[in-house]
Amino acid sequence: MTLIDRLYRRIADAGHVCLGLDTDISYLPDQLKKDNACDALFHFNREIIDATLDTAAVYKVQIAYYESLGLRGLNAYMKTLGYLREKNAIVIADVKRGDIAKTAEMYAKAHFTGDFEADFITLNPFMGMDTLEPFFPYLDAGEKGLFALVATSNPGACDIEGIIASDGESVSDKTGAMIKEKGVRFTGDCGYSLIGAVVGCTNKVQTKQIRSRLDGVFFLIPGYGAQGGKAEDMAGYLDKNANGGVVNSSRGILLAYKKPEYSGLGFAEAARAETVRMRDEILSAVKGKEV
């Protein structure tokens, strides 16, 4: 069983929530701020993880938040990844690296081994498909996977991803097709490849098209909650078995303890409650979906 089969089973059991540990110091409750900042960050993450291990399908750790604090921040990043691995959780390191040849080999070593080892990493494919290849030895072993940026939902996504080629396809369309082709050899028993795609919420027509065009490509879907994405939008990205994608929420979960509906709960309990609510909301939307 490869990593993608493990993720597929996990979703069938636990739902679709990808819990984003994009932890900013300012998110921490006052009682944690007494520690030094980087110990407090890890402490906060650890409690969130402990409270959500059975309700989050997978965790995504955004390295930028830790990198912004320098070496001590990256120490908290390392400890967070290590703790997740210790708990046998599936971890996506959101690093969006992208470089060529030997430099890409170095990024593969950095994020698939050693201090910063994760299960999946996100990649930026702008420089071309050869930037993915140095990661393939790790995928060949079935133990690591990639999510390449294909279609993001930020306002500027139209600038480059949205450029329309002479044949009528967008840069996102073409990137998706290339990612799919590259991933075929890494297809697991579940029918999905170890090379997935990051696809953000756009609109329902595009969503339906992207799911059918990119069959076999697992989706990492940002944009839920704080960024305005709704459960019914997310359901469109899933297949007839309601699988094939995970939906990320970061601030919506990490800051749940500040919402009126969770008043009286500690930050970890509120994060759990919000994860359960989000999981169930997506599961309901999936049930209500036309297949």
CB-wise, 1 or 158, nearer to a second copy? 158
Eight-state DSSP code of residue 163:
P
- x/- mask, a second copy, residues 119-158, rule CB under 8 A, reads -----xxxxxxxx-----------------x--x-xxxxx
Q: Which residues pair with 93 in a beta bridge?
A: 61, 121
Q: Is 67 in the site for a second copy (CB under 8 A)?
A: yes
By rule CB under 8 A, what string of x and - marks binding of each residue 80-99 to a second copy?
----------------xxxx
Closest CB to a second copy among residues 229, 244: 229
In the complex, least distance from residue 254 CB atom to a second copy, rounded to whole angstroms: 12
Q: Per rule CB under 8 A, is residue 19 in the interface with a second copy?
A: no
**Which tokens go with 133?**
């290849």
CA angle 6, 11, 12 (to 5 degrees): 100
Shortest CB 135 distance to a second copy, Å: 13
Instruction: List, in sequence order, every residue forming a beta bridge with 17; answer none if it has no partner.
Output: 247
206 lies in the binding site for a second copy (CB under 8 A): no
Verify whether residue 34 is a known catalytic residue.
Answer: no
- Vertex 62, ends 58 and 64: CA angle to 5°? 170
Q: What residues have CB less than 8 Å from 74, skipping those under 6 apart?
A: 63, 66, 67, 116
Distance from C-alpha of 69 to C-alpha of 84, rounded to nearest angstrom: 21
Q: Which stretch binds a second copy (CB under 8 A): 6-14, 169-177, 204-212, 234-242?
A: 169-177
Q: Does 37 bind a second copy (CB under 8 A)?
A: no
Q: Rule CB under 8 A: is residue 104 a binding residue for a second copy?
A: yes
Q: What's the rounded Cα separation, in Å, for the pair 42 and 46?
A: 6
**Binding residues with a second copy: total (CB under 8 A):** 57
Q: Note whether 165 binds a second copy by CB under 8 A.
A: yes
Q: What are phi and psi of 81, to 5 degrees?
A: -60, -45
**Residue 197: CB partners within 8 Å, gap ≥ 6?**
147, 148, 149, 150, 151, 176, 179, 214, 217, 218, 219, 220
Residue with structure tokens 């309990």?
A: 269
Q: Which of 96, 109, 174, 230 is catalytic?
A: 96
**Angle formed at CA 238 by CA 235 and CA 242, multiple of 5 degrees:** 90
Nearer to a second copy, 9 or 72 (CB): 72
Which residues of the chain form contacts with a second copy (CB under 8 A)?
22, 24, 62, 64-65, 67-71, 74-75, 78, 96-104, 106-107, 109-111, 114-116, 124-131, 149, 152, 154-161, 163-166, 168, 171, 174-175, 178
